[in-house]
Amino acid sequence: MSSLSKTDYLTLLNLNEINALLPQEMAQEYEEMSKEWCHLILNEKDFNLLAFAPNIKWYSICRCHLIADDGSTVHEHLHALIHFTNGSTMLAYKKKLQRTGTRLHSKTTFRKIICFDHAVGVLRYITCAKGQKPLRRDGDGLRGTPHSHYDRRVFKQDWLHSRGKQCCLVRTEISELASEGVKDLENYTSEHELHDKSTCRCDRGAEGIRRREKANEKRRQFYKTERGIEIRNNYKEKQIRKKKLITSLLKMGLNKKAELQRETILKLIDLL
């Protein structure tokens, strides 16, 4: 359940003039200074702190959570595209907090923007109703469901969409608008690939793809080794034990559709 009401959320946005900005404006400012741009994944308890922080410019923002089968919610957080301006840096901001004895939540993360195409991707991500498909398994060993985005503050309401074919269409439109703000489009692969695809380290760049494939192959080879097989087997056995215990507890009368009850059970298991 969220500890930040919608009224308080909107009040913070309005007080600090946090609005979705033109992609063209974002392009101009990125070319002027491409450092210190971040995809901010923000625990909602830290929003009040970050919202009032000086020298942070916000380009788009949304709230995000996981909705259980019974309608309850968990993992409340926010996503935003931000830029530390006027010579400020993410590291300097964190050190300033340390000097005052203030600590950000452990889940609050500043993911570095690798290229302008990456920034466009974050804008598209915020416009989507669903978050990224889970790459890792939950504590019960099963694939979880994507988080849900809500209260999305984006430049065009037409961009709000559900995951599917519209994801590519919305990204294309955002990229085309952003390309109007760059000084020289020849510095990029195209208006739909606003980076040098042949050398870029982002997920869509050739170097990024090469690194990811190399890491995946290294991981696959490791799990073929004696140690890797042992780890996989131990993991499977642990998940089987957990599922048996969860099944037994659910038969005691708990709501079978209450995902949050299941999470509580898993936390109790970890304490055993």
pLDDT tens profile 145-157: 788 999 999 999 9
In a domain, 213, yes or no: no
How high is the pLDDT of residue 257? 52
Query: Shortest CA distance to 146 belongs to which of 164, 132, 128?
Result: 132
pLDDT of residue 242: 77
44, 139: one domain: yes
Residue 78 counted as domain residue:
yes
Domain count of the fold of the chain = 2
Burial bucket for residue 49 (CB in 10 Å: 0-12, 13-18, 19+): middle
Structural domain ending residue among the three candidates 140, 168, 195: 195
How many angstroms separate the CA atoms of 40 and 81, rounded? Answer: 6
- Neighbouring CB atoms inside 10 A of 115's CB total 24
In a domain, residue 210? The reply is no
pLDDT single digits (tens) 166-189: 999 999 999 999 999 999 999 999
Question: Which H helix or E strand runs over 38?
Answer: strand 37-43
Give yes or no: residues 146 and 251 share one domain: no
Q: What is the mean pLDDT of the chain?
A: 88
127 within 8 A of 213, measured Cβ to Cβ: no
Instruction: Report the pLDDT value the prediction gives residue 263, as an integer from 0 to 100.
Output: 63
Q: Are residues 61 and 178 in the same domain?
A: yes
Q: Does 55 lie in the same domain as 105?
A: yes
More confident residue, 243 or 194: 194
Task: Kindly tell me if the per-residue pLDDT of 61 is higher than 60.
Answer: yes
Residues of the domain holding 242: 237-271
> What would the pLDDT profile of 92-127 be if each residue is shown by its tens digit?
999 999 999 999 999 999 999 999 999 999 999 999
Q: Answer yes or no: do 246 and 132 share one domain.
A: no
pLDDT at 70: 73
Query: Are residues 184 and 190 in contact, defined by beta-carbon separation less than 8 angstroms?
Result: no
Average pLDDT over residues 38-67: 94
Which residue in the block uniquely carries the two structure tokens 């209450």? 258
Q: Final residue of a domain: which of 143, 165, 195?
A: 195
| pLDDT at position 53 over 50 | yes
| Contact yes or no for 83/170 (Cβ under 8 A) | no
* Helical spans, DSSP H, in 223-258: 226-250
Give the number of other CB atoms < 10 A from CB of residue 114: 20
